Structure 1
Amino acid sequence: MDPLEGETSSAPIEYEPVSVKDVLVEMKDTAELLIDLSYSAVLHRSEELATEVLRLEERMDILELRARMSLLMAARKPADAEQLAPVLGIVGAADGISDAAGDIAKVVLDETGLPEAMRAALPDATETLVRGIVAADAPYAGRTLADIDLESKTGVRAIALRRGNDWLLNPGPETRIEADDVALLRGPDTAIGDVYETLTGDEYEAPIVETPDIDDLERAVDTIVHMKDFSELAVDLAYSSVLFDSEELAEEVRNLEVEVDAMQSRFEAWTLRAAADAADPVVLRGLIQLGSSTEGISDAAIEISEGVLRDIDVHPVVQLAVQESDEIITRVAVEPGSELDGTAVTAGVPDADSTMSVIAIRRPDDGWLLVADGDAELRGGDVLISKGTRTAAAAFRELASATS
């Protein structure tokens, strides 16, 4: 049976009054989940996760049509068209991310060919994403997330639930888990297995990791994982640039896109070299598809921030859609002699009087450095991409200033 049989991808969609803000929020959340799911499907060779990607891709197609209908109805004069044009770009970009994620998932479902070395990227991940169906007699069934207190007790969180064809993205404390829900869980390797077994009643099978025996192939795999991380960061920055109408953040999106392009060039070179030593070069086809799709995600990030780069006023509905969370992403330049100059960063947390988390560093001479899972030392001239509350962000800027 087709895993998507019964879905309504070909059903007619008629215009109905909907909140553009709500549609944009769901498109943003869906796009971010799709990136996560599609790469997890590849790394785990999981057809189940890949099938969920295609389900979400179909949902995104419906959201895109509804968003375009609503935006067309809202444009009544030239000034409206000018403000809404970038919104159409954001809608198209989210759908572009969805298409790229679908292509990544099809690498698994179509058995396009993927080297076992892709699994070697798993040990570098601090968390694992799994899909499970809630058993009728599971201790979690019929209880809210607040009652279960899953994240506090185990470090594992439910990032999405699917109930039939309905999706619950970013479930909150009052969200109730029901029997037969499809749950997407993310958490540390040490805890995810026990939670999965409690949720589903089935034994958890940890992925088997094999070390690649071809150096060029290992380099290609490392590069594609870095491309994924940079593209994901570019999407986050793009949405933040829209929220704050920040040309600085939009420029960093452009810088990241240039970096991903350079990575893709290196990735293709490593893959071609690896083909010469591989017993069966055909299994590298999937890697080539991954590279192309990943680069497409970074291109979509540019499209999201296009209006900001062109100095077009951001339509209020977009800012309302993006500002759902109090947590924000900021860009801060470290001035030489400031309190942050020479500060150590461990797993993204700076040794400073701040609750901001450093995601990435751009150095004038060394390029980009992702630091969320590693250690680094901040230097004068560094450009920091950080995440935290608005209050913490203001204080962090002061720490980066030499005149504070």
Structure 2
Amino acid sequence: MDPLEGEASVSVAYEPVSVKDVLVEMKDTAELLIDLSYSAVLHRNEDLAREVLRLEERMDVLELRARMSLMMAVRNPDDAERLAPVLSIVSAADDISDAAGDIAKIVLEEMGLPEAMRAALPEATEALVRGVVDDDSVYADRTLADIDLESETGVRVIALRRGEEWLLNPGPETTIAAEDVALLRGPVASIEAVFKRLTDTAYETPAVDEVGVDDLERAVDTIIHMKNLSELAVDLAYSSVLFDSEGLAEEVRNLEVEVDAMESRFEAWTLRAAADADDPVALRGLIRLGSTTEVISDAAVDISEGVLRDLEVHPVVELAVQESDEIISRVEVAAGSDLDGTAVIAGVPDLESTMSIIAIRRPSEGWILIGDSDGEIEAGDVLISKGTRTAAAALEGLSTV
């Protein structure tokens, strides 16, 4: 039985909508779906998994509206050529949504996952939790600016669901209301107190058992790394389109190749682990997780396909760019530049720069995710960074001689 069986499908009819707004919402929804689905698996959280399926249904509606609007916009061959990459973005976002739904069903259909997945949780991600705002919560009927939650606790409200309405990326003026479903992300120690004040119930940290199957531990480590690389690929793919950057699009392709190679190793380790596992059937969910993770990295390449094929960016995408306050940049570090040999602490280089480095591609080592560890920048490194346009220009200047 489908976990949400019995809920009526949404009827969709054509109506004039802003394709730009739909694309922005699809992007935000796709990124949230990836986050929620993996968190649902890592936490064994059925409530989070059900939110994934609700968002997946919302994505289906967005996709239909985007397709209808794009079809109405095509009047000649030039329109078709310029809108084809936009259609690829729409289809890829829906592919990500479907993959996230498949990941969520690992939990809801009780497919089984090895305990090693939970053992990997502390290293893999911050805590992401779902809570319903209590009528008497101190946060109810107050704006996020008034609560100042992130500054006080490090916990962020990444989305709110009010009935069937989703508020993605809520801003300072967003008001939290009683009965809202809130999605919170932040350090576990802070999450516990915030969750209690929000819901009037205690947050329970999942217990983790020790795991002693070496091949299984290697498989789990690999899937966690695949997850991180796939998330990075999607982020870079959207940025490559928004900023018409062939360099970023090439990095998406590099990441997809890396994920493909890792999936092959993951499958081998999983099969070897089955011979030593007490219950090999419990590995079924892990296999599903590997295949769907690879689908997400493939979708990232589809998003950036228009850039890779040197197709002109449509004005609707350029309009979306104008609304972006934060960009992702790619720079290659020249030998002897200011960045060469610079330490990176918590993603920030030890120089006058406000750009946050989220990943490094090093020719001798492959991809290094800065969220996992600190490090030192070397000549030849390709830095993937996030920040303002001004900061991006400054970082590029520091990377050259």
Q: CA deviation at 1:5?
A: 5.8
What is the one-letter code of the residue matched to 1:186?
R
What residue number does 1:179 align with? 178
What residue number does 1:62 align with? 61
DSSP-derived class of the 2:211 partner: coil
What residue number does 1:200 align with? 199
CA RMSD across the alignment? 1.3
What residue number does 1:338 align with? 337
What is the one-letter code of the residue matched to 2:69?
S
Q: CA deviation at 1:309?
A: 0.4
DSSP-derived class of the 1:97 partner: helix
Report if aligned partners of 1:242, 1:319 keep a CA contact under 8 Å in 2. Answer: no
What residue number does 1:104 align with? 103
CA distance in 2, matches of 1:138, 1:95: 36
2 and 101 in structure 1: CA distance in 2 versus 1, 3 angstrom threshold: closer
What residue number does 2:77 align with? 78
389 and 57 in structure 1: CA distance in 2 versus 1, 3 angstrom threshold: same
Report if aligned partners of 1:331, 1:383 keep a CA contact under 8 Å in 2. Answer: yes
What is the one-letter code of the residue matched to 1:364?
P
Q: CA deviation at 1:321?
A: 2.4
Report if aligned partners of 1:160, 1:167 keep a CA contact under 8 Å in 2. Answer: yes
CA distance in 2, matches of 1:179, 1:308: 44
CA distance in 2, matches of 1:231, 1:133: 30
What is the one-letter code of the residue matched to 2:324?
S
267 and 126 in structure 1: CA distance in 2 versus 1, 3 angstrom threshold: closer
Report if aligned partners of 1:132, 1:199 keep a CA contact under 8 Å in 2. Answer: yes
388 and 316 in structure 1: CA distance in 2 versus 1, 3 angstrom threshold: same
What residue number does 2:395 align with? 396
What residue number does 2:365 align with? 366
What residue number does 1:219 align with? 218
Q: CA deviation at 1:3?
A: 6.0
Aligned residues: 401
DSSP-derived class of the 2:340 partner: coil
274 and 322 in structure 1: CA distance in 2 versus 1, 3 angstrom threshold: farther
CA distance in 1, matches of 2:271, 2:362: 30
What residue number does 2:30 align with? 31
Identity between Structure 1 and Structure 2 (%):
77
TM-score, normalization by structure 1: 0.97
The superposition leaves residues 124-171 of structure 1 with CA deviations (integer Å, 9 ceiling, x where unpaired) of 145210000011111111111111111111111110000111100000
Report if aligned partners of 1:25, 1:322 keep a CA contact under 8 Å in 2. Answer: no
Report if aligned partners of 2:3, 2:108 keep a CA contact under 8 Å in 1. Answer: no
CA distance in 2, matches of 1:323, 1:227: 32
Report if aligned partners of 1:126, 1:188 keep a CA contact under 8 Å in 2. Answer: no
What residue number does 1:140 align with? 139
What residue number does 1:296 align with? 295
Q: CA deviation at 1:121?
A: 1.3
**Greater CA deviation, 365-374 or 174-183?**
365-374
Q: After superposition, where does 1:367-386 map in structure 2 within 5 Å?
A: 367-386=366-385
DSSP-derived class of the 2:294 partner: helix
Does residue 4 of the first structure (1) align with residue 14 of the second (2)? no
Does residue 257 of the first structure (1) align with residue 256 of the second (2)? yes
CA distance in 2, matches of 1:2, 1:174: 37
**Greater CA deviation, 165-174 or 345-354?**
345-354
Report if aligned partners of 2:342, 2:377 keep a CA contact under 8 Å in 1. Answer: yes
CA distance in 1, matches of 2:360, 2:172: 33
The superposition leaves residues 25-64 of structure 1 with CA deviations (integer Å, 9 ceiling, x where unpaired) of 1100000000000000000000000000000000000000
